[in-house]
Amino acid sequence: MEEKEISKAVIARLPRYYRYLQDLLEEGIERISSNELSKQMQVTASQIRQDLNNFGGFGQQGYGYNVQYLYEEIGKILGLDKEHNIIIVGAGNLGQALANYVEFEKKGLIIKGIFDVNPRLIGNTVRGIEIHMIDEMEDFIRKNRIEIAALTVPKSKAEDMAKLLVQYGVKGIWNFANIDLHTIEGVVVENVHLSESLMRLSYRTSKYIKETESRK
């Protein structure tokens, strides 16, 4: 593969390609044309050809893409060919839901432990992953080379917890708390703001209902 710079916009679309390619692999499909992939992903075929051209000449006219090869190449760019160790901070329903996602492990994203402040949870496990107390977190992060922490603590605790995580060596925070973590330095933050997502849906749904009613 050529070592050229891939644009941010393309990178942002790669996880979605990766997901579709994984589905195709699981269905036993070895080759796919840009037109077929276009239909499935509802992206134009020319967009797909442009995006995938970044990975060298393996989409042959009339022959299609090699699914396995493309899957692996995109995986390498996303860093999924190496293992990345993760902890979950907060063992509530959301933390447990994340711990139960086996999909992550297939992508080399390994959940090593779960942390909480509730002493009644000591030693409990979720899908074999042990729940530890917060005071063990520093040691655990260093010993297990944890890169990423999923933060599922209440909003009021999120900022302090994020600071601790960075101090202990975490480099990426997957933030589910309903707050931005602007003030935290020395770490990459990816926000999942569920309430904003639901508000967007509520807006779009209300609009859709109004439009369909006015057409009656």
| Core vs surface per residue 177-207: b (16+ CB within 10 A) or e | bebebeebeebeeebeeeeeeeeeeeeeeee
| Secondary structure (3-state) at 130 | strand
Stretch that binds a copy of itself, among 57-65, 115-123, 158-166, 194-202 (CB under 8 A): 194-202
Nearest-angstrom CA–CA distance, 170 and 41? 34
Determine, following the binding rule CB under 8 A, whether residue 1 of this chain makes contact with a copy of itself. no
String marking each residue 114-153 x if it binds a copy of itself according to CB under 8 A: ---------------------------------xx-----
Stretch that binds a copy of itself, among 57-65, 135-143, 160-168, 184-192 (CB under 8 A): 184-192
Give the total of residues touching a copy of itself (CB under 8 A): 60
Strands 172-175 and 146-151, sheet pairing: parallel
Determine, following the binding rule CB under 8 A, whether residue 7 of this chain makes contact with a copy of itself. no
**If we measure between CA atoms, which residue out of 123, 107, 113 comes closest to residue 87?**
113
Nearest-angstrom CA–CA distance, 41 and 159? 37
For a copy of itself, which residue of 10, 15, 47, 130 counts as binding (CB under 8 A)? Answer: 15
- Site residues for a copy of itself, 54-83, by CB under 8 A, read 77-80, 82
Q: Residues in the site for a copy of itself, rule: CB under 8 A?
A: 11-12, 14-16, 18-19, 23, 40-42, 77-80, 82, 84, 92-94, 96-98, 100-101, 103-104, 107, 109, 147-148, 171-172, 174, 178-180, 182, 187-188, 190, 192-209, 212
